[in-house]
Amino acid sequence: MTEHTCTVRRLSAADVTRMQALLAFFGEAFEEPELYGAAPPSAAYLERILAKPHFFALVAEEQGQIIGGLAAYELEKFEQERSEIFIYDLAVAATHRRRGVATSLIEEIRRMAAECGAYVMFIATEADNHPAIALYSKLGIREDACHFDIAVPRNK
């Protein structure tokens, strides 16, 4: 494994164009271009979400190109005065995998989690995503759980 030297930074409300590029990157990396591109959010929506302190969009860049990305949310808890960070999406370009890019993104969100006082971070992956499971196992404790999507009625 070759260690990677990339720049990792958090996107701000001024980075709408970069966020749009990150969405396209996720669509390609996850092989789900329809999910990330069929009904793209407006620039105003992206500006609003990027301005929220509880939303984190990170990009790993090399020579101005996105080679990795992470989206996460700070979840405020009710049982104690604390929060946790849910890493919702994490992807690295196929050409840059196994070079420390994902670890760099996770280390940056870990630093940000400490700054906002979060007590833990968590991430989910598919049971057959063995490279991701190997990485996450090095960084944390595995907890097996079942995930259920519950449909929400749509107003017509």
d(CA 42, CA 49): 11
**pLDDT tens figures, 98-140:** 889 999 999 999 999 999 999 999 877 677 767 766 777 677 7
**pLDDT tens figures, 41-68:** 999 999 999 999 999 999 999 999 999 9
- What pLDDT, on the 0 to 100 scale, is given for residue 129? 67
Q: Which CATH architecture has domain 7-139?
A: 3-Layer(aba) Sandwich (3.40)
- What residues pair up with 122 in beta bridges, in sequence order? 86
Query: Can you give the residue ranges of every domain in the chain?
Result: 7-139
